[in-house]
Amino acid sequence: MGIGETPKPHLAFLASPGIGHTTPLFELASRLVTQHNFQVTFLVITTGSTPAQTEYLNANPHPDLHIVNLPRVDISPLVSNDTTAFVRLCIIAEKSIRTSLSSVLSRINRPTLRAFVIDVFSTDAFEACNELSIPVYSFFTSTAAFLAFSLYLPVLHNHVKDETCDLPDPVKVPGCYPIRTRDLTGMATNRSMDDYRWFLHHVSRLTKVTGIFVNSWDDLEPISLRALLHEPYFRDIRAPPVYPIGPVTKRTEPEESCKKILAWLDKQPKESVLFVTLGSGGTLTSEQLTELAWGLELSQQRFILVVRKPSDCAAATFFSVGSDKDDPEVYLPKGFVERTKRVGLVVGSWAPQVAVLSHRATGAFLSHCGWNSTLECVKHGVPMIAWPMYAEQRMNATMLSDEVGIAVKMPVMGDGGETVMVGRKEIERVVRVVFEGGEGGKMRFRARELGASGLDSLSRGGSSYETLARVAESWKIGN
Annotation says 218 is catalytic: no
- Does the annotation count 157 as an active-site position? no
Active-site residue (options: 21, 36, 202, 380): 21
Distance CA 73, CA 33 (A): 30
Active-site residue (options: 10, 36, 119, 183): 119
| Residues forming beta bridges with residue 138, ordered by sequence position | 118, 212
Q: What is the number of other CB atoms lying within 10 angstroms of the CB of residue 473?
A: 11
HSE-up (13 A, CA, CB side) for residue 87: 16
The number of residues in the chain equals: 479
Cα(101)–Cα(95) distance, rounded to whole angstroms?
10
CA dist., res. 57 & res. 14, Å (int) = 13
Alpha-carbon distances, residue 260 vs 307, 308, 347, 355 (angstroms) = 16, 18, 10, 12
What are 41's strand-pairing partners?
12, 66
Instruction: Tell me the DSSP string of 83-119.
Output: --HHHHHHHHHHHHHHHHHHHHHHTS-GGGEEEEEE-
H/E element, 273: strand 273-276
User: Where are the strands (E) in 393-470, listed by range?
Assistant: 407-409
The residues assigned a catalytic role are 21, 119
